[in-house]
Amino acid sequence: MHNFNAYNSSSKLLPKSFSLIRRRRSNIPLWDQILDPSSDIVTKWNNFFLVTCLVTLFLDPLYFFVPFICGPACLGSNLAISVSVTFFRTVTDCFYLMNIIFKFRTAFVAPNSRVFGRGELIMDPNVIYLRYLKTDFIVDLTAMLPLPQIIIWFIVPALKSTTNFRTNHTLSLIVLVQYVPRMFVMFPLNRKIVNSTGVAARTAWSGAAYNLLLFILASHVMGAIWYLWSIQRLHSCWMMECKREGNSTIGPCNPLFFESKSLGLPAREIWLSGTQVLANCDPHNQDLNFKFGMFADAFIDDVPSAGFIEAYFYCLWWGLKSLR
């Protein structure tokens, strides 16, 4: 009975002190708190953001499927794909912004103290800000910027003289350039999760699924690039044959005829009735002088003129076949 009273009296004292600390921390808003890197909220956010990064790496190459063949010797842009990818890409960009905010509010272990044990946890906000700005901030900011959206919906409409080919070429270049910092965000995050939890996946099945997704991701990227370069190769053939025709008596070749906005123009119809561009850029032609190389299968099977679903899975199959 005496031991119970002693335990009871001590239990009345300890919870008051702990509740006081808890009450003080609860009065501080979450965005003003400095987070422990080993806390549950940081661990859950890192796992969630890792999935977001993986989804984003799948999402960006879909921009390469925006150009398609919309008619004989005519290159168009798929507006539905542009709108859909832009929407989901903007959502994921918001998560990249949230990750930057998290990093500004997450403590770190001092490198000099990692000798024995856990090390000294730096909680000073100013030190955390300066360290993050000197290390990962530039990469995270570059990965977060909505560059493809700005090009499609702001820069291209302002440049009224641009063509679909130049737009798609610029867009693909921006996506490829920004793909690098996005990978530099994802793979160090994966390594951080492994170092903090010991595993990247909780079960063997989830680990196998994660590795399979990485393999499919590589096939997805290769297939999308192959599709884009196939269309660029065909457009190069059109331009070369257009220059050869020069001043034709039937109708001079105008590079603007290869744009979707020229469909139905009388001048294009006259030129199309007598031009040899289609025959000289047809991979089915055995006497073709222009070499399509590994891109010939795309036009033999009419991939660029097919629907998005058919074109995507064909390119994914081509990527899987190339990685065997």
For residue 12 the two structure tokens come to 């009345």
Report how far residue 274's alpha carbon sits from residue 261's, in angstroms, rounded to the nearest whole number: 20
b/e per residue, 60-88, with b = 16+ CB within 10 A? bbbbbbbbbbbeebbbbbbeebbeebbee
- Mean pLDDT by 10-residue block, N- to C-terminus, for the chain (324 residues)? 42 38 51 83 92 94 93 89 94 96 90 67 90 94 94 81 77 91 92 71 73 92 95 92 72 83 87 87 84 91 92 96 86
Instruction: Decide: 44 and 229 in contact? Cβ < 8 Å.
Output: no
pTM for this model (two decimals):
0.83
Report how far residue 148's alpha carbon sits from residue 157's, in angstroms, rounded to the nearest whole number: 13
Please write down the long-range contacts of 256-259, taking CB distance under 8 Å and 24 or more positions apart.
256/163, 257/73, 257/74, 258/73, 258/74, 258/75, 258/163, 258/165, 259/74, 259/75, 259/163, 259/164
The single-letter code of the amino acid at 102 is: F
DSSP 8-state symbol, 201: S
What confidence score (pLDDT) does residue 15 get? 41
What confidence score (pLDDT) does residue 27 get? 60
Instruction: Decide: 167 and 156 in contact? Cβ < 8 Å.
Output: yes
What confidence score (pLDDT) does residue 10 get? 39
Which residue, 117, 96, 100, 118, is CA-closest to 109? 118
What confidence score (pLDDT) does residue 19 get? 40
What confidence score (pLDDT) does residue 247 get? 58
User: To which residue do tokens 């744009």 refer?
Assistant: 259
Phi-psi sector, 73: left (phi>0), alpha (psi -120 to 50), beta: left
3-state secondary structure 94-140: HHHHHHHHHHHCECEECHHHCCCCCCCEECCHHHHHHHHHHCCHHHH
For residue 155 the two structure tokens come to 């820069």
What confidence score (pLDDT) does residue 206 get? 74
Extents of the domains making up the chain = 31-322
Report how far residue 182's alpha carbon sits from residue 106's, in angstroms, rounded to the nearest whole number: 21
Report how far residue 313's alpha carbon sits from residue 109's, in angstroms, rounded to the nearest whole number: 46
Report how far residue 277's alpha carbon sits from residue 55's, in angstroms, rounded to the nearest whole number: 40
Report how far residue 52's alpha carbon sits from residue 55's, in angstroms, rounded to the nearest whole number: 5
